[in-house]
Structure 1
C-alpha cells in the first residue's frame, strides 16, 4: 500500500467517526477537515491513478461533505448505518492493497532484471488456429547485481505483463484489482550491471505452477538471485494466466481437451511434454551468445543448468532433467508428476520440497508419484516438508493482501508460517542444494534446513538400499 493510499483511508475514517460521534461540531472545523480530505484524495488520484480500492473512501468523503442530517430519527439512523457500512467496506477492500509490497531479498547481492521474449521457429503453437503461429517462451532474468547506494533512476519493469490489457481474470483474481500492479517495487533494478565474481554465473530455470504468471514468483526469484544465481522465470503462453507475446499481444489461458476426454489428466500429460520442450528451448537460447543482451551475454553457464518449478512446473523440471543431460539438478516444489514420469530413474541430484501435508492435503498422485521417483533415484535425493506452509506460500499470492487479510486467509486456508519466511527458507535450502551440482562447492544442506523451525526431512537412500522418505506426508 502506498503512503498516500494509507493517508487517504485514515483521513476519511477519522472524518466519518467525527461525523457520527460529534455531529454538532463547528461547521468551520468540519469544512476544514473535509477540505483536507479532498486535497489528499486529489493528490492520491493524480499521483497514483484511479483504482477501485479507493471508491469507498471517495464515497465516504463525499458523505462527510454533506450537511448533518437533522430531520427525523429514521433519516439519522439511515445516515449512520450508511457511514458505518461504507467505513467497514473501506477497511475491507483496503485489505486488497492497490499496490502490494514485496519483502526485500536478504542475500549478499543486489538484484537486476530483464525480460526476453523468444520464439521457437521449429515448433507450432497448438493453442491457436493460425498455421503460421510458432511457439514463444517468455523468460525474465533475475540476477546478482552490483549493490549501489543509490540505484539509477529509470523505467521500472512492470510486475506483471499486460497492465491495462489483462484478461478479465488472472489466476482467478479479477484483473481490475491489478490496475496499479505496474507500480509494485520488485526490489530489482532493470538492466543493472552484473555483480563481479563468478565467471560464469550458475543458471537456474524456473517453471511456474499451472495457470500462474511468472510474476507470482518474483519474491522467491529475487531471494534466490540475491544468493548468487541467475534465475530465468518462464511464462508458458496459453498456460500462464497472462503472457505478453513477442508481437505485443497479451494472451490468457486456453485449455485444449480432445474429443472424448473426461478428465484433465491426458491434457496435463501433453502440457507436461510441451513445458519440457519449452525448458529445453530456453537452455538452447542461453547457449546462443546473440540471444542474451548485456549484462548477461557471455556471463552465464548454459552447459550446466538446474531446473526447478512449483506445482505443475515442478513436474516439468523433473521431466527436463530426465531428458536433457545439460540439466545437472532438479527441484520439485509441491508438484505432481504426470504420465510415465514417476516410473523414470533419475540419475542426477533431485530435491522434493513440499508444503505441510496437514494443510495442503497432497493427492495420492502426488504422494505415489514422488515416492516412486525418490525410491528409484540413483543420484543424491532429498525431501523436506515445510510445516505451517501451504501450497500458495511459495508464491506472492499472500502479499496481494494487507497483513490483516493475510492473517484471516491463513486461518481459513492455512499457511500461518507466512510467505516471507516460507520463501526465505526455500531460497536457502535451494541454494544449499544447488551449490555443488552447479558450482562444485559443497554445502551442508541438512545444516541449512535445520536453521529453520519446523522444517523436517533430509537425504533419501538411493536405489539399492531401503528407500525411506525423509519427510512425513
Structure 2
C-alpha cells in the first residue's frame, strides 16, 4: 500500500465514521474533504487500476448523496448511515489483502536482469496430454547485471487467463496485480566476471515459479544465474511456447489414495525437466543474453517442497550437477535409498510449526545417512513451510501478524528467504567450510554438518 493509497483510504473511512457517529460534524467537514477524496480516488483508479479499491467508490458516492441531499425522516437517515458504515468496513479490505504485494529488495551487490524461455523438448511426449504433444519446459532466468531497463515481465504467466485458484490463492486477487520483482528485462549479463555459477530452481507442487521471486531475485543479485523452472500441467498456471495457458491437471488413480505413485511420477518428470534445462544451457543459440556467460562446470540445483526432492533427484541422475539443496521437500520413489556422492544441504522450516510428515522425516534422514559427501541440515525456528515463498506477502503486515500468533510461523518470510540465501551462497559456490559460519550468524537456526 502506497502513501497515497493509505491517505485516501483512511481519510475516507475516517470521514465515514464521523458521518455515522457525529453526523453534524461530518456534514460540516464533508464539503471540504469529499472533493479532495473523490479526486484522489479517481487518480488511484486511473494510475493504478486496482480493482481492490472498488468499495471506496460507492462509499464516496453515498457520502456525497448524504451530504448534498436533505435526508428527511429518522428511518431514511438511519439507512444512509448504516450503508455508509457497511461500505466503510468493506473498504478496509485492501488493508488486509494489499493491492500490490511488496517483495523485499535484493541484498546482493548486483542489479538483476531477467529473461523468459519457453522451450520444447522434442524427445519427450507430454505425459499428461495427447501423445503427439511434446514436453514444454518454461524457464525464467534471473542473472546479475549492471543495468536496468525499466521494463519488467509480468509476475505471473497467463495473467489474463488465470484459473479460479493459483496454489490456494483466489485467482481474482492476482488478475490485476502489479508486483515489482526488482528485475528488469532486456539487459545484458554483468561483465564483472566471464562466467557465472548456475543454479536450477524447481518450485513446490502446484506453485508457479513466480511465487519464489523474492528468494530468487536476491540469490541472483549475489552473483548467480538462477533458472526458475515451471513444470507445465503441474504448476498452477504456465504459458507454453505456442501461447497455450496450461493449468494443473491431477490424474490420481483410485488405487493410489495417498498419491505416492502419482507424486513419484511427477518427480520423475521434474527430474527430466531439470536435465533438459542443463542440455539447453550448452546451446548458445537458445539462451539469449546468457550465451557465453554461464559456468557449466559449476551448476547446482535447489528447490522447495517437491522442487527440493526434484533437486536431489536431478543430482542423483546427472553428474553435471555439483551439489543440491532441498528446502522442506518430501522425497518419493527410491530417492531416500540413494547414496549421493556430492554435497547436499537440507533447509527446513520449524518442525512444530509445519508438522512434517513421517515420510518427510524418514526420507531426508535416509539420504543424509547414506551421503558420501559433505552434508548439512538446518532448521529455521518459527518459520513455516510457505516462508520460503512470496505467498505471505499477499496478506498485509497486520494480518500476517495476527495469523502467525494463532497459526504459528512468526518468522517473517523476508527473514526466512534472506537466511536461506545466506546459507545457500557459500554452499552453492562449493565453499562448504563456510556454511556453518553462515548459519551461525542467524538467530533461531539450529543444526549443522551431518556426521560422516
Q: Shared fold (TM-score greater than 0.5)? A: yes
Q: Decide whether the 8 Å contact of 1:99 with 1:180 is kept in 2.
A: no
Does 2:280 match 1:290? no
Q: Decide whether the 8 Å contact of 2:162 with 2:175 is kept in 1.
A: no
Q: Decide whether the 8 Å contact of 1:269 with 1:339 is kept in 2.
A: yes
Task: Tell me which residue corresponds to 2:230.
Answer: 235
Task: Tell me which residue corresponds to 1:455.
Answer: 445
Tell me the TM-score normalized by structure 1.
Answer: 0.91
Does 2:177 match 1:176? no
Q: Decide whether the 8 Å contact of 2:19 with 2:27 is kept in 1.
A: no
What whole-Å deviation, never above 9, does each CA across 1:145-187 have from its counterpart, x for those lacking one? Answer: 11x5xx333x321111111211121111111111222x21111
Q: CA deviation at 1:358?
A: 1.2
Query: For 1:121-136, what aligned pairs fall within 5 Å after superposition?
Result: 121-129=122-130, 131-136=131-136
SS in 2 for 1:66: helix
Q: CA deviation at 1:90?
A: 1.9
Q: CA deviation at 1:38?
A: 1.7
RMSD, aligned CA: 1.8
Corresponding residue pairs, total: 450
Q: CA deviation at 1:274?
A: 0.4
Does 2:155 match 1:165? no
Does 2:324 match 1:325? no
Q: Decide whether the 8 Å contact of 1:435 with 1:443 is kept in 2.
A: no
Separation (CA, whole Å) in 2 of partners of 1:334 and 1:76:
57
Separation (CA, whole Å) in 2 of partners of 1:21 and 1:306:
62
Q: Decide whether the 8 Å contact of 2:345 with 2:375 is kept in 1.
A: yes
Task: Tell me which residue corresponds to 2:36.
Answer: 36
Separation (CA, whole Å) in 1 of partners of 2:255 and 2:414:
44
Task: Tell me which residue corresponds to 2:183.
Answer: 188
Task: Tell me which residue corresponds to 1:96.
Answer: 97
Q: CA deviation at 1:50?
A: 4.3
**Structure 2 residues not aligned, in runs of 5+:** none
Q: CA deviation at 1:199?
A: 2.4
Separation (CA, whole Å) in 2 of partners of 1:273 and 1:352:
20
Separation (CA, whole Å) in 2 of partners of 1:429 and 1:304:
17
Q: CA deviation at 1:434?
A: 1.2
Separation (CA, whole Å) in 2 of partners of 1:311 and 1:264:
15
Q: Decide whether the 8 Å contact of 1:98 with 1:179 is kept in 2.
A: no
Q: CA deviation at 1:74?
A: 4.8
Larger CA deviation: 18-27 vs 226-235: 18-27
Q: Decide whether the 8 Å contact of 2:201 with 2:307 is kept in 1.
A: yes
Separation (CA, whole Å) in 2 of partners of 1:386 and 1:248:
40
Tell me the TM-score normalized by structure 2.
Answer: 0.95
Task: Tell me which residue corresponds to 1:277.
Answer: 272
